[in-house]
Amino acid sequence: MNSKFKALFESFTLPCGVELKNRIVMAPMTNFSSNEDGTVSDSEVKYYARRSGGVGMVVTACTYVTANGKGFNGEFGADSDELIPSLRQLAIGIKEQGAKAVLQIFHGGRQVPPQLVPNGDVVSASAIPSEGAGKPVPRELPEEEIEAIIKAFGETTRRAIEAGFDGVEIHGANGYLIQQFFSPHANRREDRWGGSIEKRLTFPLAIVDEVKRVVAENTNEPFIVGYRFSPEEPETPGITMADTLVLIDALADKNLDYLHVSLNDFWSKPKRGVDDSRARIEIIQERVGSKVPVIGVGSLYSADDVLRAKDTGIPLIAMGRELIIDPDWVQKVAEGKEDEIVTKIDKGKQEELMVPDPLWQAIIHTPGWFPGIE
């Protein structure tokens, strides 16, 4: 190994006590490849296993906690105990390769396609559709359903424990239900679940508390609980960087194992809310990094890219598209072969890369998503 990359291979112990063998995490990415009944497909397990040999931790694609939270075709479920054996296959596939396995848990809220949920019943914090033509107007959730969804996040966490996962990641990013409750665009309520920024925090924090409670009740082993968030929204009104600082201050007091920033570009800068020209990730790290580990992510393709990102003080770096393009990224750096890392998708190597067909079709038919697809 080139000695300058040694820092990427130092072990890291999360607050709960789980030790990661290195600083590289596989980021959660939807792959559209599960079975019709919500079980994990064999091709999905192989896809994860192929990428689990080098990284310290794998965060799976999101799984829905209730039937009306399903956000994608080919998304695997975790909303009933019948799905625990399916979840277990995924956990085993990842852990047998030496990585920690973390299940990302989610509810799509107003973003779900109506045809994927029972009776086409799309729900959210308020009856405000997402921006864009043809978006469904969601039904505003009443109090008892809000409480039931919070409980469902806890139940899915219990299933993750029973299935042998090492942790869960609460998906509070990318405009889904948890973010919708925090967003002044999606949440126009005037009860305890909305209004002021403090009240818009009620739902996200209640989910964190419920997940932590379930972990304490169901295992004596160290179990990872992380939280993913998007630092800003494009909508007006929408979440600003200033709002996000309030959110992460609150999350930093919850004894979480990490905060995972959802960014397409690691070095992206705030658009509004703060007078600061640094990258968002640097602002976040300075604000809460001494209280909770931060995971950074976003278009870091080469070993030098990742090292430069880690030099900001961020302890953990997540990689998504990069590990689809080259599943042996980590091993190549470890063996001093970083010059052999592939940084563009090779359209002739689907089988070798073990990418399930629905994900492969999405990649090659979405220009600009992956380097090499114009």
Task: Give 121-169 pLDDT, tens digit per residue.
Answer: 999 999 999 999 999 999 999 999 999 999 999 999 999 999 999 999 9
Query: What one-character DSSP code corresponds to residue 339?
Result: G
Structural domains of the chain ordered from first start: 3-364 (3.20.20.70)
Q: Tell me, what's the pLDDT at 360?
A: 97
Which phi-psi region, left, alpha or beta, contains residue 285 (left: φ > 0; alpha: ψ -120 to 50)? alpha
Pairing type for strands 19-20 and 12-13 reads antiparallel
Distance of alpha carbon 109 from alpha carbon 106, whole angstroms: 9
3-state secondary structure of 317: strand
Pairing type for strands 100-106 and 167-172 reads parallel
Residue 70's alpha-carbon distances to 30, 53, 192, in angstroms, are 12, 29, 26
Active site residue 301: no
Q: Tell me, what's the pLDDT at 374?
A: 84
Q: Which of 48, 176, 227, 258 is catalytic?
A: 176
Q: Tell me, what's the pLDDT at 180?
A: 98
Query: Among candidates 252, 169, 194, which has minimal Cα distance to 244?
Result: 252
Structure tokens at 294: 């931060």
Q: Max CA-CA distance within the chain? A: 58
Burial class (CB in 10 A: 0-12, 13-18, 19+), 218: middle
Q: Which residues contact 28 (CB under 8 A, 6 or more apart)?
A: 59, 60, 61, 62, 104, 169, 171, 228, 320
Given a cut of 70, the residues of the chain with pLDDT beneath it are none
| Strand stretches in the chain, DSSP E | 12-13, 19-20, 24-26, 57-64, 100-106, 123-124, 139-140, 167-172, 224-229, 258-261, 294-297, 316-319
Q: Tell me, what's the pLDDT at 313?
A: 97
Structure confidence by residue, pLDDT tens digits, 206-227 = 999 999 999 999 999 999 999 9
